Amino acid sequence: MKVAAIQMVSTAELAQNLSAAAKLMQQASDDGAKLLLLPEYWPLMGMHDTDKLILAEHAGTGVIQDFLSAMALKLNAWIIGGTLPLISNDPGKVFNTTLVYNPQGVSIARYDKIHLFGFSKGNESYEECRTILAGEKVHSFDTDFGRVGLSICYDLRFPELYRAMGTCSLIVVPAAFTFTTGQAHWEILLRARAIENQCYVLAAAQGGLHTNGRRTWGHSMLIDPWGKIVDVLDDGAGVVSGILDMNFMQQVREGLPALKHQKLR
């Protein structure tokens, strides 16, 4: 099974981002990938935090969701749609949501980001809770190659979330890590989640300088169950891909049965 992470440098224009995503997804599909992961905030990196409220869609309908469904059907691939804003019951906030589409173009799973990013250092400051409503439930979905666990960006710092998913073959992490925090912690955290859960981790990031002035870290990557980086893209738009080797994953688990040795639940 070949999987791919799409790295983008999204703008404040939805049409531009849809076009860029479509080209990169087609590139990944042409290279044989059957599961494609988009980054966090791929449809919009707005000029203001509140821009996402204008773009927000009702669950099950909208331009962004129609695009994801159509691409899954066209490419005959699983599409994990990074994140998009979905309308919540709070008029001033949206859910930052991952939707999963099967190769028939049907939405089969939803995860609303649980952990909301807050960071302040010098002139750099972020507070997602101002415009985003936190999710409450851990989500995963089953495929013919095993369970896939869903997480988003800042979730990466909370290992208990990943334990709550159960035993996964693949964990996905769509993200828009800042340059500051990404440079310090991104790779370390991703490799730790792969090692401790003895599964593949696929991370799709925003990677570059955006039109709103924000700079994201990039370094989308695929990591194997031993913690080795299979493929990585430092900066700019592009595709990261690799094969999920279930036999190798089983060898890791049998040789070092840490999942069976776990005591605290």
Which tens digit of pLDDT belongs to each residue from 70-127?
999 999 999 999 999 999 999 899 999 999 999 999 999 999 999 998 877 777 777 8
Specify whether 23 is catalytic.
Answer: no
Active site residue 168: no
Distance CA 146, CA 140 (A): 10
pLDDT above 90 (res 223): yes
Catalytic member of 113, 128, 168, 199? 113
Check if the beta carbon of residue 83 is closer than 8 Å to that of residue 115: no
Q: 137 burial class (0-12, 13-18, 19+ CB within 10 angstroms)?
A: exposed
Q: 26-74 pLDDT, tens per residue?
A: 999 999 999 999 999 999 999 999 999 999 999 999 999 999 999 999 9
- Rounded mean pLDDT of 223-246? 98
Which backbone phi and psi does 159 adopt, to 5 degrees? -60, -25
Domain ranges, ordered by start, for the chain: 2-261
* pLDDT for the residue numbered 118: 84
How far is residue 160's CA from residue 193's CA, in Å, rounded to a whole number? 10
**Residue 121 is among the residues annotated as catalytic for this protein:** no
Catalytic residue from among 34, 40, 128, 168: 40
- Residues 3-35: b if buried by 16+ CB within 10 A, e if exposed: bbbbbbbbbeebeebbebbeebbeebbeeebbb
Is the domain 2-261 a CATH 3.30.70.20 member? no
Catalytic-role residue among 34, 128, 153, 199: 153
pLDDT of residue 184: 97
What is the pTM for the complete model shown? 0.97
Percent of the chain with pLDDT over 90: 93
Q: What is the pLDDT of residues 164-215, one digit of tens each?
A: 999 999 999 999 999 999 999 999 999 999 999 999 999 999 999 999 999 9
Token digits of residue 75: 């490419």
pLDDT of residue 105: 98
pLDDT at 124: 73
Q: What is the mean pLDDT of residues 232-249?
A: 98
Q: How many CB atoms are closer than 10 A to CB 260?
A: 8
Q: Do 117 and 126 touch, CB atoms closer than 8 A?
A: yes
